[in-house]
Amino acid sequence: MSLDPATVRRIARLARIGIDESDLPALQGELNGILGWVEQLNEVDVEGVTPMVGTGHAALRTRPDVVTDGNCRDAVLSNAPDAVGPFYTVPKVVE
């Protein structure tokens, strides 16, 4: 499997990472290098093997459906790059 420049652009778009056209050749080479290397997994017979999700040391727990946190608006907003009053600001998203 080899990625072409259009696919690298599409991945960057999906990941919301801006790239310059001048980045493309190096990025394409690096990603293809990694993908070529992970191809070795094709040697492994995984017929009937259950995929491992988590390490299985404990089952996921449930907890009572109660409020355990809150009333900390200022703390939540304290690291906002741009806040106005009790709100985060965002670029205009509705035309």
Q: How far is CA 33 from CA 20, 28, 41, in A?
A: 20, 8, 15
| Radius of gyration for the chain, computed over Cα atoms and rounded to the nearest angstrom | 22
Site for other proteins in 28-87 (CB under 8 A): 30-31, 33-35, 37-38, 40-41, 44, 46, 49-58, 60-61, 63, 72, 75-76, 78-82
24 lies in the binding site for other proteins (CB under 8 A): no
List residues near other proteins by CB under 8 A: 1, 3, 8, 11-12, 14-19, 27, 30-31, 33-35, 37-38, 40-41, 44, 46, 49-58, 60-61, 63, 72, 75-76, 78-82, 88, 90-93
